[in-house]
Amino acid sequence: MMYLRRVLLGGSAATAAIFAAVAVGKNGGDSTLPAPATPGQWNRNWDRREPMSLVNLSKINGETGEEELNVQLNKHKAKATRHIFLIRHSQYKLDGKTDVDRVLTSLGREQAELTGQRLASLGLKYSQIVHSSMTRAKETTEIISKFLPGVKKISSDLLREGAPIRPDPPVCHWKPDVEYYEDGPRIEAAFRNYLHRAEPKQEEDSYEIIICHANVIRYIVCRALQLPPEAWLRMSLNNGSITYLVIRPNGNVSLRMLGDSGFMPPEKLSRT
Protein backbone atom coordinates (compact mmCIF):
# COMPACT_ATOMS: atom_id res chain seq x y z
CA MET A 1 0.00 0.00 0.00
CA MET A 2 1.45 3.36 -1.09
CA TYR A 3 -0.07 5.17 1.85
CA LEU A 4 1.33 2.67 4.34
CA ARG A 5 4.82 3.05 2.84
CA ARG A 6 4.60 6.85 3.16
CA VAL A 7 3.55 6.53 6.79
CA LEU A 8 6.30 4.11 7.65
CA LEU A 9 8.94 6.28 5.96
CA GLY A 10 7.85 9.73 7.02
CA GLY A 11 4.78 9.60 9.26
CA SER A 12 4.55 9.73 13.03
CA ALA A 13 5.78 6.79 15.06
CA ALA A 14 2.30 6.22 16.50
CA THR A 15 0.65 6.11 13.08
CA ALA A 16 3.38 3.84 11.76
CA ALA A 17 2.82 1.46 14.64
CA ILE A 18 -0.88 1.41 13.87
CA PHE A 19 -0.41 0.37 10.26
CA ALA A 20 2.37 -2.02 11.15
CA ALA A 21 -0.23 -3.74 13.30
CA VAL A 22 -2.33 -4.30 10.19
CA ALA A 23 0.51 -6.23 8.61
CA VAL A 24 0.95 -8.30 11.76
CA GLY A 25 -2.76 -9.06 11.80
CA LYS A 26 -2.63 -10.32 8.23
CA ASN A 27 0.06 -12.78 9.25
CA GLY A 28 -2.16 -14.36 11.86
CA GLY A 29 -1.55 -12.07 14.86
CA ASP A 30 -4.29 -10.29 16.82
CA SER A 31 -4.38 -6.75 15.45
CA THR A 32 -7.37 -5.65 17.51
CA LEU A 33 -5.67 -5.50 20.91
CA PRO A 34 -2.32 -4.07 21.98
CA ALA A 35 0.32 -6.33 23.44
CA PRO A 36 -0.10 -6.91 27.18
CA ALA A 37 1.64 -4.33 29.32
CA THR A 38 4.80 -5.41 31.08
CA PRO A 39 4.62 -5.65 34.91
CA GLY A 40 4.40 -2.18 36.42
CA GLN A 41 3.42 -0.58 33.11
CA TRP A 42 -0.05 0.89 32.66
CA ASN A 43 -2.24 -1.08 30.25
CA ARG A 44 -4.10 1.60 28.32
CA ASN A 45 -6.63 -0.89 27.04
CA TRP A 46 -7.54 -2.28 30.45
CA ASP A 47 -11.27 -1.82 29.77
CA ARG A 48 -11.08 -2.94 26.11
CA ARG A 49 -12.37 0.49 25.09
CA GLU A 50 -9.16 2.02 23.77
CA PRO A 51 -10.36 3.42 20.39
CA MET A 52 -7.70 1.56 18.39
CA SER A 53 -8.89 -1.78 19.77
CA LEU A 54 -12.38 -1.06 18.43
CA VAL A 55 -11.29 -0.36 14.85
CA ASN A 56 -11.12 -3.13 12.27
CA LEU A 57 -7.77 -2.19 10.73
CA SER A 58 -8.07 -4.78 7.98
CA LYS A 59 -10.90 -2.72 6.47
CA ILE A 60 -8.96 0.55 6.34
CA ASN A 61 -8.35 1.55 2.71
CA GLY A 62 -4.68 1.85 1.81
CA GLU A 63 -5.00 5.12 -0.14
CA THR A 64 -7.38 7.02 2.13
CA GLY A 65 -6.19 5.29 5.30
CA GLU A 66 -5.30 8.23 7.54
CA GLU A 67 -8.58 10.07 7.04
CA GLU A 68 -10.61 6.90 7.35
CA LEU A 69 -8.73 5.84 10.46
CA ASN A 70 -9.25 9.20 12.16
CA VAL A 71 -12.98 9.01 11.47
CA GLN A 72 -13.15 5.57 13.07
CA LEU A 73 -11.03 6.57 16.06
CA ASN A 74 -13.17 9.66 16.73
CA LYS A 75 -16.27 7.51 16.50
CA HIS A 76 -15.02 5.31 19.35
CA LYS A 77 -13.28 7.95 21.46
CA ALA A 78 -14.69 8.77 24.90
CA LYS A 79 -15.38 12.45 25.57
CA ALA A 80 -16.54 12.54 29.18
CA THR A 81 -15.11 11.68 32.60
CA ARG A 82 -16.86 9.21 34.90
CA HIS A 83 -16.86 9.93 38.64
CA ILE A 84 -17.75 6.81 40.59
CA PHE A 85 -18.55 6.81 44.31
CA LEU A 86 -18.33 3.37 45.92
CA ILE A 87 -20.25 3.24 49.20
CA ARG A 88 -19.93 0.43 51.71
CA HIS A 89 -23.26 -0.55 53.30
CA SER A 90 -23.97 0.50 56.88
CA GLN A 91 -23.65 -1.69 59.98
CA TYR A 92 -26.04 -4.66 60.01
CA LYS A 93 -27.09 -7.47 62.35
CA LEU A 94 -24.41 -10.13 62.09
CA ASP A 95 -26.51 -12.75 63.88
CA GLY A 96 -29.09 -12.99 61.10
CA LYS A 97 -29.37 -16.55 59.83
CA THR A 98 -30.23 -15.53 56.26
CA ASP A 99 -29.70 -12.43 54.16
CA VAL A 100 -33.26 -11.28 54.84
CA ASP A 101 -32.52 -11.28 58.58
CA ARG A 102 -29.32 -9.27 58.24
CA VAL A 103 -30.98 -5.88 58.43
CA LEU A 104 -29.33 -2.62 59.45
CA THR A 105 -28.84 -1.88 63.12
CA SER A 106 -30.02 1.43 64.58
CA LEU A 107 -26.42 2.65 64.28
CA GLY A 108 -26.35 1.45 60.70
CA ARG A 109 -29.40 3.51 59.86
CA GLU A 110 -27.74 6.58 61.39
CA GLN A 111 -24.61 5.90 59.35
CA ALA A 112 -26.63 5.72 56.13
CA GLU A 113 -28.26 9.05 56.97
CA LEU A 114 -24.85 10.65 57.48
CA THR A 115 -23.55 9.18 54.21
CA GLY A 116 -26.63 10.41 52.36
CA GLN A 117 -26.18 13.90 53.80
CA ARG A 118 -22.52 13.88 52.81
CA LEU A 119 -23.24 12.86 49.21
CA ALA A 120 -25.98 15.48 48.93
CA SER A 121 -23.71 18.19 50.34
CA LEU A 122 -21.27 17.71 47.46
CA GLY A 123 -23.83 19.32 45.17
CA LEU A 124 -23.26 16.90 42.31
CA LYS A 125 -25.77 15.82 39.68
CA TYR A 126 -25.82 12.06 40.24
CA SER A 127 -27.07 10.02 37.30
CA GLN A 128 -27.83 6.74 39.07
CA ILE A 129 -27.40 4.57 42.14
CA VAL A 130 -26.48 0.94 41.44
CA HIS A 131 -26.71 -1.25 44.53
CA SER A 132 -26.14 -4.82 45.59
CA SER A 133 -29.29 -6.91 45.88
CA MET A 134 -28.38 -7.98 49.44
CA THR A 135 -30.63 -6.69 52.23
CA ARG A 136 -28.06 -4.50 53.98
CA ALA A 137 -27.11 -2.77 50.73
CA LYS A 138 -30.76 -2.29 49.70
CA GLU A 139 -31.64 -0.73 53.07
CA THR A 140 -28.57 1.53 52.93
CA THR A 141 -29.64 2.61 49.44
CA GLU A 142 -33.19 3.43 50.52
CA ILE A 143 -31.94 5.72 53.29
CA ILE A 144 -29.28 7.42 51.17
CA SER A 145 -31.69 7.94 48.27
CA LYS A 146 -33.95 10.07 50.51
CA PHE A 147 -31.25 12.75 50.29
CA LEU A 148 -30.91 12.36 46.52
CA PRO A 149 -34.49 12.62 45.22
CA GLY A 150 -35.04 11.72 41.60
CA VAL A 151 -31.87 9.66 41.20
CA LYS A 152 -32.79 6.29 39.68
CA LYS A 153 -31.88 3.10 41.56
CA ILE A 154 -30.75 -0.14 39.94
CA SER A 155 -30.31 -3.45 41.75
CA SER A 156 -27.50 -5.80 40.73
CA ASP A 157 -26.73 -9.37 41.78
CA LEU A 158 -23.18 -8.93 40.46
CA LEU A 159 -22.39 -6.61 43.39
CA ARG A 160 -23.31 -9.09 46.14
CA GLU A 161 -20.64 -9.77 48.75
CA GLY A 162 -18.21 -12.63 48.27
CA ALA A 163 -14.59 -13.76 48.21
CA PRO A 164 -13.03 -12.27 45.05
CA ILE A 165 -9.61 -13.93 45.05
CA ARG A 166 -7.36 -15.65 47.59
CA PRO A 167 -5.62 -12.78 49.43
CA ASP A 168 -1.88 -12.41 49.72
CA PRO A 169 -0.63 -12.43 52.43
CA PRO A 170 -3.05 -15.16 53.54
CA VAL A 171 -5.41 -14.60 56.46
CA CYS A 172 -6.33 -16.71 59.44
CA HIS A 173 -10.04 -17.09 58.54
CA TRP A 174 -9.53 -19.79 55.93
CA LYS A 175 -11.94 -20.22 53.03
CA PRO A 176 -12.07 -23.23 50.71
CA ASP A 177 -11.00 -22.61 47.13
CA VAL A 178 -14.53 -23.23 45.90
CA GLU A 179 -15.67 -19.90 47.40
CA TYR A 180 -13.12 -17.93 45.39
CA TYR A 181 -13.90 -20.09 42.36
CA GLU A 182 -17.59 -19.24 42.55
CA ASP A 183 -17.49 -15.62 43.77
CA GLY A 184 -14.41 -14.42 41.89
CA PRO A 185 -15.80 -14.51 38.33
CA ARG A 186 -18.98 -12.74 39.45
CA ILE A 187 -17.12 -9.93 41.22
CA GLU A 188 -14.76 -9.62 38.26
CA ALA A 189 -17.87 -9.34 36.06
CA ALA A 190 -19.11 -6.51 38.30
CA PHE A 191 -15.81 -4.71 37.78
CA ARG A 192 -15.94 -5.11 34.01
CA ASN A 193 -19.59 -4.09 33.85
CA TYR A 194 -19.42 -0.94 35.98
CA LEU A 195 -15.79 0.24 35.79
CA HIS A 196 -14.76 1.49 32.36
CA ARG A 197 -14.34 4.77 30.50
CA ALA A 198 -17.43 6.62 29.31
CA GLU A 199 -19.28 5.49 26.21
CA PRO A 200 -18.54 7.68 23.15
CA LYS A 201 -22.15 8.94 23.09
CA GLN A 202 -21.79 10.38 26.62
CA GLU A 203 -21.26 14.12 26.18
CA GLU A 204 -21.07 15.33 29.80
CA ASP A 205 -19.17 14.12 32.86
CA SER A 206 -21.19 11.74 35.02
CA TYR A 207 -21.41 11.17 38.77
CA GLU A 208 -22.53 7.67 39.72
CA ILE A 209 -23.00 5.89 43.03
CA ILE A 210 -22.41 2.18 43.66
CA ILE A 211 -23.56 0.84 47.03
CA CYS A 212 -22.18 -2.59 47.86
CA HIS A 213 -19.71 -4.39 50.13
CA ALA A 214 -16.18 -4.09 51.47
CA ASN A 215 -14.71 -7.06 49.60
CA VAL A 216 -16.22 -5.94 46.31
CA ILE A 217 -15.03 -2.35 46.72
CA ARG A 218 -11.50 -3.34 47.71
CA TYR A 219 -11.19 -5.69 44.76
CA ILE A 220 -12.54 -3.06 42.37
CA VAL A 221 -10.00 -0.51 43.63
CA CYS A 222 -7.11 -2.92 43.03
CA ARG A 223 -8.34 -3.78 39.55
CA ALA A 224 -9.06 -0.18 38.58
CA LEU A 225 -5.58 0.95 39.64
CA GLN A 226 -3.98 -2.12 38.03
CA LEU A 227 -2.56 -3.25 41.36
CA PRO A 228 -2.25 -6.95 42.25
CA PRO A 229 -5.86 -8.00 42.96
CA GLU A 230 -4.56 -10.32 45.71
CA ALA A 231 -3.89 -7.15 47.74
CA TRP A 232 -7.58 -6.44 48.29
CA LEU A 233 -7.60 -7.51 51.95
CA ARG A 234 -4.77 -5.12 52.87
CA MET A 235 -7.33 -2.28 52.98
CA SER A 236 -9.96 -1.59 55.61
CA LEU A 237 -13.27 0.21 55.04
CA ASN A 238 -15.68 1.59 57.63
CA ASN A 239 -19.41 1.12 57.27
CA GLY A 240 -20.98 3.86 55.18
CA SER A 241 -17.59 5.03 53.94
CA ILE A 242 -17.02 6.64 50.55
CA THR A 243 -14.42 5.52 48.00
CA TYR A 244 -14.08 7.77 44.96
CA LEU A 245 -12.64 6.72 41.59
CA VAL A 246 -12.26 8.91 38.49
CA ILE A 247 -12.02 7.42 34.98
CA ARG A 248 -10.78 9.84 32.31
CA PRO A 249 -11.67 9.67 28.61
CA ASN A 250 -8.15 8.43 27.80
CA GLY A 251 -8.60 5.51 30.22
CA ASN A 252 -6.47 6.92 33.04
CA VAL A 253 -7.84 6.12 36.50
CA SER A 254 -7.23 7.92 39.78
CA LEU A 255 -8.32 7.24 43.35
CA ARG A 256 -9.44 10.40 45.09
CA MET A 257 -10.77 8.84 48.30
CA LEU A 258 -10.48 5.43 49.92
CA GLY A 259 -12.94 4.59 52.68
CA ASP A 260 -13.57 8.18 53.71
CA SER A 261 -15.75 8.38 56.82
CA GLY A 262 -14.43 11.62 58.27
CA PHE A 263 -17.90 13.13 57.94
CA MET A 264 -19.12 10.84 60.75
CA PRO A 265 -18.61 11.55 64.47
CA PRO A 266 -16.13 9.09 66.03
CA GLU A 267 -18.87 7.34 68.04
CA LYS A 268 -20.73 6.49 64.83
CA LEU A 269 -17.83 4.62 63.20
CA SER A 270 -17.80 0.84 62.76
CA ARG A 271 -16.33 -1.80 60.44
CA THR A 272 -18.66 -4.80 60.92
Burial class (CB in 10 A: 0-12, 13-18, 19+), 238: buried
Domain boundary among 76, 107, 141: 76
pTM of the model as a whole: 0.84
Query: Are 34 and 169 within one domain?
Result: no
Query: Are 12 and 124 within one domain?
Result: no
Backbone angles phi, psi at 226, to 5 degrees: 55, 40
Render pLDDT for 196-219 as a digit per residue (tens, 0 to 9). 999 999 999 999 999 999 999 999
Render pLDDT for 128-177 as a digit per residue (tens, 0 to 9). 999 999 999 999 999 999 999 999 999 999 999 999 999 999 988 888 99
Question: 84: helix, coil or strand?
Answer: strand
Over the range 81-117, which residues count as b (16 or more CB within 10 Å of their CB) and which as e? bbbbbbbbbbbbeeeeeebeebebbebbbbbbbbbbe
Nearest alpha-carbon partner for 54 in 44, 67, 64: 44
Q: How many CA atoms lie within 13 A of 153 on its CB side?
A: 19
d(CA 249, CA 251): 5
Render pLDDT for 73-117 as a digit per residue (tens, 0 to 9). 888 999 999 999 999 999 999 999 999 999 999 999 999 999 999
Max Cα distance, the chain (Å)? 73
- Tell me which residue range forms the domain holding 59: 2-76
Domain boundary among 56, 76, 96: 76
Query: Are 107 and 236 within one domain?
Result: yes
Residue 150 backbone zone (phi > 0: left; psi -120 to 50: alpha; other: beta): left
Number of residues in the chain: 272
Beta bridge partners of 86: 210, 243
Domain boundary among 45, 76, 107: 76
Query: Are 65 and 88 within one domain?
Result: no
